[in-house]
Chains A and B, each alone.
Chain A
Amino acid sequence: MRGKQVAFGLVTAFLVVAGCAGPQPAPARPGPLAGQTIEVLAVWSDEEQAAFERVLDVFEQRTGATVTYVSGGDEVPTVLATRLAGGSPPDVAGVAQPALVRTLARAGSLVPLDPSTESVIDAQFAPVWKELGTVDGELYGFVFKAANKSTVWYDAGQLGPGFVPPRTWDEFVETLRKLSDTGRTPLSVGGADGWTLTDWFENVYLQTAGGAMYDRLARHEISWTDPSVRTALQTLGRVFRPEYLPGGISSALQTEFTESVVDVFGADPKASIVFEADFVAGAIAESTPARVGADARVFPFPRIGPTSSVVSGGDTLVALTDEPGTKALMQFLASSEAASIWAAQGGFVSPNRQVALDEYPDDSTRQIAEELVGADNLRFDMSDLMPSALGATRGDGFWRAMQDYLADPAQVDRILAELEAEATAAYEEGDS
Chain B
Amino acid sequence: MTRPTGPLSGGSHRLAALFLTPALLLVVVFLVYPTAYSLVRSMFDARGDEFVGVENYVTAFTDDRTLVALRNSVIWVLVAPSLVTTIGLVLAVVTERIRWATAFRLVMFMPLAISLVASGIIFRLVYEEDPDRGLVNAVAVSVHDVFSPASPYQGARPREGGGLVVGPDGALETAPVGAQGAVGLPITGFDPVELPAQAASAVLPEPGAGLRGLVWLDVGGTPDRTGEVDAGERGVPGIAVEVWEAGRVVATATTGDDGRFTVPDLTGGPYTIRLAAANFAEPFRGLTWLGPVLVTPVVIAAWLWIMTGFAMTLIVAGLASIPRDALEAARVDGATEWQVFRRVTVPLLSPVLLVVFVTLVINVLKVFDLVFVIAPGSVQEEANVLALQVWQVSFGAGGGDQGLGSALAVLLFLLVLPAVVFNIRRFRGDRS
Q: B-contacting residues of A (Cβ < 8 Å)?
A: 1, 4-5, 8, 75, 77-78, 80-81, 85, 97, 99-100, 178, 180-184, 191-194, 243, 247, 250-251, 253-254, 256, 268, 270, 388-389, 392-396, 399-400, 403, 407, 429, 432
The residue of chain B having its C-beta at the shortest distance from the C-beta of A268 within the complex is B132
A77 touches B377 (CB 8 A): no
Mark each residue of chain B from 274 to 300: 1 if its CB lies under 8 Å from any CB of chain A, else 0: 000000000001001011000000000
Question: In the complex, what residues of B have CB within 8 A of residue A400's CB?
Answer: 378, 381
Besides the known contacts A100-B399, A247-B130, A394-B377, 20 further A-B residue pairs in the complex with CB atoms under 8 A apart: A78-B399, A78-B400, A80-B399, A85-B48, A181-B188, A181-B219, A182-B189, A182-B190, A183-B189, A184-B191, A192-B377, A194-B377, A194-B378, A243-B189, A251-B129, A389-B398, A389-B401, A394-B397, A396-B65, A400-B378
CB-contact partner of B46 in A8, A97, A193, A432, under 8 A: A432
- Partner among A8, A77, A388, A394 whose Cβ is within 8 Å of the Cβ of B380: A394
> Of B14, B156, B285, B377, which is within 8 A of A183 by CB?
B156
Q: Is the interface of A mostly helix, strand, loop or mixed?
A: helix
A253 to B18, CA, bound (A): 59
Q: Which residue of B lies closest to A99 (CB)?
A: B398
Bound-complex Cα distance A429 to B291 (A): 32
Closest residue of A by beta carbon distance from B155: A183
Distance A389 CA – B178 CA, assembled complex (angstroms): 60
How far is it, in angstroms, between the C-alpha of A4 and the C-alpha of B15 when the chains are bound? 10
Q: Is the CB of B189 within 8 A of A193?
A: no
- Are B398 and A247 touching (Cβ within 8 A)? no
C-alpha spacing A420/B149, complex, angstroms? 48
- Chain B interfacial residues counted at CB < 8 A: 43
19 CB-based A-B contacts, threshold 8 Å: A77-B399, A180-B189, A181-B220, A182-B189, A182-B190, A182-B192, A182-B220, A183-B155, A183-B190, A183-B194, A247-B129, A250-B288, A254-B290, A254-B291, A389-B401, A394-B396, A432-B46, A432-B47, A432-B398
Q: How far is the CB of B48 from chain A (nearest CB, A)?
A: 8
Residues on B with beta carbons closer than 8 Å to the beta carbon of A395: 377-381, 384
Q: Tell me if B128 counts as interface (CB < 8 A to partner A).
A: yes
Q: How far is it, in angstroms, between the C-alpha of A77 and the C-alpha of B129 when the chains are bound?
A: 34
Any A CB within 8 A of the CB of B395: yes
Q: Bound state CA distance, A394 and B383, in angstroms? A: 12
What 6 pairs across the A-B complex have the smallest Cβ distances? A388-B398, A395-B380, A192-B376, A388-B397, A77-B399, A393-B397
Q: Is the CB of B129 within 8 A of A432?
A: no
Cα distance, A45 to B47, chains bound together (Å): 28
- Cβ of B157 within 8 Å of any chain A Cβ, yes or no, is yes
Residue of B nearest to A406 (CB): B378
Whether A243 contacts B157 in the complex (CB less than 8 A), given A181-B189, A254-B378, A393-B392, comes out as yes
Residue of B nearest to A191 (CB): B378
What is the chain B residue whose CB lies nearest that of A246? B130
CB distance from A404 to the nearest CB of B (A): 9
Q: CB distance B46 to A429 under 8 Å?
A: yes
List, in ascending order, chain B residues with CB within 8 A of A389's CB. 397-398, 400-401
Instruction: List residues of chain B with CB under 8 Å of any chain A CB.
Output: 11, 14, 18, 46-48, 65, 128-130, 132, 155-157, 188-192, 194, 218-220, 224, 285, 288, 290-291, 376-381, 384, 392, 395-401
In the bound complex, how far is the Cα of B10 from the Cα of A1, in angstroms?
A: 12
Does A182 lie within 8 Å of B398, measured CB to CB?
A: no
Shortest Cβ gap from A203 to chain B (Å): 20
The reply to whether A193 and B191 form a contact with Cβ atoms under 8 Å apart is no
Which residues of A have CB within 8 Å of B47? Answer: 432
B376 touches A396 (CB 8 A): no
Q: Which residue of A lies closest to B133 (CB)?
A: A259
Contacts of A270 in B (CB 8 A): 130
Give the complex CA separation of A194 and B378 in angstroms. Answer: 7
Cβ-defined contact, B399 with A432, below 8 A? yes
> Which residue of chain A has its CB nearest to the CB of B224?
A178
Using A183-B156, A247-B129, A394-B377 as known contacts, say yes or no to A8 and B18 having CB atoms under 8 A apart.
yes
If A184-B191, A396-B381 touch, whether A250 touches B129 (CB-CB below 8 Å) is yes
Chain A positions within 8 Å of B401 at CB level: 389, 429, 432
Residue of B nearest to A194 (CB): B377
Per the bound structure, the CA–CA distance linking A183 and B193 in Å amounts to 10
Complex Cα spacing A85 to B400, Å: 15
How distant is the Cα of A194 from the Cα of B398 in the complex, in angstroms?
A: 16
Q: Is the CB of A77 within 8 A of B398?
A: yes
CA distance A78 to B405 in the complex (A): 14
> How far apart are A274's CB and chain B's nearest CB, in angstroms?
16
Contact partners of A251 in chain B: CB under 8 A: 129-130, 285
Kindly list chain A residues whose C-beta atoms are within 8 Å of the C-beta of B194. Answer: 183
Q: Please, how many angstroms separate the alpha-carbon atoms of A184 and B154 in the complex? A: 11
Among B11, B290, B380, residue most surrounded by chain A Cβ atoms (within 10 Å): B380
Closest to B394 in A: A78
Q: A182-B191, A182-B220, A184-B191 are in contact. Are A393 and B399 (CB under 8 A)?
A: no
Specify which chain A residues have a CB less than 8 angstroms from the CB of B220 in the assembled complex: 181-182
The answer for the CA separation of A112 and B186 in the assembled complex, in Å, is 66
A contact residues around B190 at 8 Å (CB): 182-183
Residue of B nearest to A395 (CB): B380
Most buried by A among B130, B376, B392: B376
Q: Are B376 and A256 in contact (CB under 8 A)?
A: yes
Residue of A at shortest CB range from B399? A77
User: Considering only CB atoms, which chain B residue lies closest to A429 in the complex?
Assistant: B46
Contact in complex: B376, A254 (CB < 8 Å): yes
Query: A100: which B residues are within 8 A, CB to CB?
Result: 398-399
- A192 partner, pick from B288, B378, B384, B395, beta carbons under 8 A: B378
> Would you give the shortest CB distance from A147 to chain B, in whole angstroms?
17
Most chain-B Cβ atoms within 10 A of its Cβ — which of A4, A97, A393?
Answer: A393
Give the Cβ gap from B355 to chain A, nearest Cβ, in Å. 36
**How close is A262's CB to chain B, nearest CB, in angstroms?**
10
- Are A4 and B18 touching (Cβ within 8 A)? yes
Residues of the A chain whose Cβ atoms lie less than 8 Å from the Cβ of B376: 192, 253-254, 256
The answer to whether B157 touches A388, judged by C-beta atoms less than 8 angstroms apart, is no
A303, chain B: closest CB distance, angstroms: 23
